[in-house]
Structure 1
Amino acid sequence: MAVSSDDLSQLLSRVALGDRAAFRRLYDLTGAKLFGVALRILRNRAEAEEALQEVYIKIWQRAGRFAGGGASPISWLVAVMRNHCLDRLRGRRPPAADVDAAYDIADQAPDPEMAAMAGDDSAGIARCLAELEPARADAVRGAYLDGLSYEELATRHSVPLNTMRTWLRRSLIRLRECLER
């Protein structure tokens, strides 16, 4: 059953008021999608299940932070999950290993053909990023290349969180349009 953005927005509003039935309905409608996001990022079913529980606790506590106004509620929910999973990944990074151990690691560099193809893609992306305003291009690089959260980017650029979300959404649309030309 397809659910509209308006329905999800209303559920989030009711969850913000402490409505448990709305929260249960929100979970029923979005749990599978958010679990898929967690599984894709974390690549571990048990860890994804744990992340799903933790994210729904956050959603229960922070539903009032969702500001509709044309924003997609499913995008907000996915962003909460994505950021949570990225935080988990950052938390499990092992400490830096001994430099001498690096000599035993195989070279994962692409072969010349793959490097040439990647260079063409990189050139197109770099050209399209250059068409964006510098702050927006930096935000896109931070989010999608450096793995920074929306909150970290909003702080870095001294803008409200929802403004950062808008920047990224609009910048990605412009990048896609540029790359399709």
Structure 2
Amino acid sequence: MTTTSDIEDMIARMAIGDRAAFEGLYAATSAKLFGVCLRVLGNRAEAEDALQEAFVKIWRNADRYRVNGLSPMTWLITVTRNHSVDRVRARRSKMGAGLDEAADVADSRPGPEALAIAASDRGRIVDCMGQLDPDKAGAVRRAYLEGETYQELADHYDVPLNTVRTWLRRSLLKLRECLSHDG
């Protein structure tokens, strides 16, 4: 079984160009990260492409990873999810806003990203999310798990665009503060 420390070590070795570490990280995490891509993109072939592209980003940005006491899977999932969300947004802009297929991407079920995080980290995140106002917690979920844009959130909550930005920024700061306390 691959530990958090093993994953951190592989990322550190990748930062100095260790290809064996890259292969090890891929073997240890690709199934979980594929689930993230599939959840966001909803298309197996596109998710496979996105996973490969996400691993290229992880390889190129391994030197940016910093050990912070949280699971390194959080960083890997964030890189992968952000790349997948960018693909959804590119698809939406190509095909036009309001496309029914793009609306099908989001649903309220917990996704692989939430399941991939270690149980203790997941429990802490759930507890910290529970400390947020329900609308703000919903906005965080919709933006960072479901890939909704700020404008979509503003329309959904019937608030100005800058209000959504403020909600998300403040909510993320509260989450970071909550998660930084020993659990």
What value does the CA root-mean-square deviation take over the aligned residues?
A: 3.4
In structure 2, what is the Cα distance between the partners aligned to 1:62 and 1:29?
Answer: 18
SS at match of 2:70: coil
Task: Tell me how many residue pairs correspond in the alignment.
Answer: 128
State the Cα deviation string for residues 129-174 of structure 1 (Å, max 9, x = none).
339xxxxx85x5553223498xx9xxx67xxxxxx977436668xx
The structure whose RCO (Cα within 8 Å, separation 6+) is larger is: 2
In structure 1, what is the Cα distance between the partners aligned to 2:79 and 2:70?
Answer: 14
Letter in 2 for 1:51: A
* Equivalent residue, structure 1, for 2:56: 57
* Equivalent residue, structure 2, for 1:143: 140
Alignment CA distance shift 1:169-1:46 (3 Å): farther
The structural deviation recorded for 1:40 is 1.6
In structure 2, what is the Cα distance between the partners aligned to 1:130 and 1:31?
Answer: 34
Letter in 1 for 2:133: A
Alignment CA distance shift 1:142-1:128 (3 Å): same
1:5-24 → structure 2 map (5 Å cutoff): 5-24=4-23
* Equivalent residue, structure 2, for 1:95: 96
SS at match of 1:67: coil
* Equivalent residue, structure 1, for 2:133: 130
* Equivalent residue, structure 2, for 1:44: 43
The structural deviation recorded for 1:89 is 0.7
In structure 2, what is the Cα distance between the partners aligned to 1:3 and 1:167?
Answer: 30
State the Cα deviation string for residues 36-89 of structure 1 (Å, max 9, x = none).
111121111110010011001000000111101312111111111111111111
Q: Stretches of 4+ moved more than 3 A in 1? A: 140-143, 146-149, 164-172
SS at match of 1:146: helix
Alignment CA distance shift 1:96-1:70 (3 Å): closer
Letter in 1 for 2:132: L
SS at match of 1:7: helix
State the Cα deviation string for residues 85-141 of structure 1 (Å, max 9, x = none).
1111111113247xxxxxxxxxxxxxxxxxxxxxxxxxxxxx95339xxxxx85x55
SS at match of 2:143: coil
* Equivalent residue, structure 2, for 1:72: 71
Letter in 2 for 1:14: R
* Equivalent residue, structure 1, for 2:175: 168
Structure (1 or 2) with the larger CA radius of gyration: 1
In structure 2, what is the Cα distance between the partners aligned to 1:39 and 1:142?
Answer: 21
